[in-house]
Amino acid sequence: MGHANAEFEDPAIVVLGDSLSAGYQLPADHAWPALLELELREQKFKFKVINAGISGDTTAGGLARLPQLLSKYHPHCLIVELGANDGLRGLSLQQAERNLADIIEQGLASGSRVLLVGMQIPTNFGPRYSNYFQQMYPRLSQRYSISLMPFLFASLDENPNLFLADMLHPNSLGQQLLMKDVLASLKQHDLLIPARTRYGIKESQ
C-alpha cells in the first residue's frame, strides 16, 4: 500500500505534563522525555517522544491542550503526568480527577495506550486532602484498566543531590533517574510494543 508514508513514521509517545516533564530551569535536552527518546533509540526502539510538558500546567490546562496533540501526533502511547499543580494550589481534587478521567477517555478513544503517572503532595492542606490526592491515581488506573506508574519520584527519595535548590524540581541527575523509571514502567506494562505488530497482523490491511 504505497499511499500512506505517514503510517511508517516512528510512532509517537506524547508526554502530557507540567514542570516535572518540561525540565524546569534545565536545557530542553536534559528533561527526562528527551533522555527517553535517546535511550529508546539506543535500545533499538523506534519512537519519537514529544515533550508536551508546560511548567505550571494543571489538569485543566492539560485537558484543554490534549485534542490538538492527539490529532497532530496520533500517539501510540500517552504518558499523563499532571495533578501536582492542582494539589499544590489547593484546587478541587474532585475536579482534577474529572479532568484526568476526561484526558484518559480521550486518549483511549483516539487509540492511544495510556500510562498514568502518580504524584504525591505535602500535607499543607491537611491529611484528608493529600490522601485523596494520592488515591486518585490508583483509582483512575483501576477504573479505566490503564497502566499506572505509582510515583514519579520513587527513586529520588528527597535526595538533595538530585533536585534543584527548591527541592521540588529534579536537576539533570534526577532527570536521568526519572527517565530510567519511566522506561522501566513502559516496559513493565508492555507499552512499547508498536500497535502494528502487537497482534502479529498489520492493522492497515
Quick: pLDDT tens for 6-42. Answer: 556 899 999 999 999 999 999 999 999 999 999 999 9
Report the chain's C-alpha Rg in angstroms.
Answer: 17
Cα 105 from Cα 171, distance rounded (Å): 32
Q: 163: which DSSP letter?
A: B
57 is catalytic: no
- Report residue 117: phi and psi, to 5°: -105, 120
Indicate which residue of 3, 145, 157, 166 is catalytic: 166
pLDDT of residue 169 exceeding 90: yes
Is the pLDDT at 56 greater than 70? The verdict is yes
- Report which of 99, 33, 26, 35 is spatially closest to residue 66, judged by C-alpha positions: 99
Selecting among 19, 141, 147, 185, the annotated active-site residue is 19
**pLDDT per position as a tens digit, 84-103:** 999 999 999 999 999 999 99
Query: Given this model, what pLDDT does residue 98 score?
Result: 98
The ranges assigned to domains in the chain are: 8-198
How many CB atoms are closer than 10 A to CB 68?
Answer: 10
CA distance 161 to 176: 13
pTM: 0.92
Q: Which three cell numbers stand for residue 3?
A: 499511499
| 103-158 tens-digit pLDDT | 999 999 999 999 999 999 988 899 999 999 999 999 999 999 999 999 999 999 98
Can 189 be counted among the known catalytic residues?
no
Q: What is the mean pLDDT of residues 44-62?
A: 97
Q: What is the pLDDT of residue 9?
A: 83
Mean pLDDT, the chain, rounded, equals: 92
Report domain 8-198's class: alpha beta
Rounded average pLDDT over 177-192? 97
Specify whether 169 is catalytic. Answer: yes
Confidence of residue 64 (pLDDT cuts 50, 70, 90): very high
Active-site position among 18, 169, 181, 185: 169
Question: Can you give the pLDDT at residue 124?
Answer: 87
pLDDT at position 7: 53
34, 66, 132, 177 from 153: Cα distances, Å: 18, 24, 18, 9
